[in-house]
Chain A
């Protein structure tokens, strides 16, 4: 079956532009996570959805970051007024609620802010 997909795979934005990153989780997966991975670092948690409810957004670095999952499937991570420090790979992961420990990751979107 299809895994987690993310689009675009690569995004170059000029500083100050808004960007939107899309995640298509595995069908039927209730839980969805966003992580940010800076160069040479491990992924860092941004936010978590259970169905359409955003239950944890403690990792979002500023109010320029916004995530939504309006129908409990596809999710979008939006970054407003991008800054150079936003350059990173953004990873999406999904899991079955009752097997929440096994998260399946997408390939990521590499964002470069120039």
Chain B
């Protein structure tokens, strides 16, 4: 049973436009969410995170929105740049376990067209 879902395997966006990547989760106990970016042959790199006590977190061109009632989060990239082309993973964790292990989605491949 997939607890974190990224239903769009791929997304293409023109340079300069907004990229919106979506993620849904089923476990209401999740209380911390993260986005990771992955280039080929490299490990995932941390991008941005959000605690369940917030509904928005912004860092430069990247903003993450959390809708707890819908169990949905999204990552907005504005403006999109060709260097943003990568696979983006949504991840969730449950602090109460004390482990901070992540549950990852299957990823969305973003292609930013020049």
A101 to B101, Cβ gap below 8 A? no
Residue interface bits A1-39, CB-to-B below 8 A is 1, else 0:
000100000000000000000000000000101010000
| Residues on B with beta carbons closer than 8 Å to the beta carbon of A59 | 101
**B contact residues, total (Cβ < 8 Å):** 26
Chain B stretch 57-114: residues in CB contact (< 8 A) with chain A: 89, 91, 93, 97-107
B100 to A100, Cβ gap below 8 A? yes
Interface residue ranges, A against B (CB under 8 Å): 4, 31, 33, 35, 40-45, 48, 55-56, 59, 91, 93, 95, 100-108
Given contacts A40-B106, A59-B101, 12 further A-B contacts (CB under 8 A): A33-B102, A43-B104, A44-B104, A56-B97, A95-B100, A100-B100, A101-B32, A101-B34, A103-B102, A105-B45, A107-B41, A107-B43
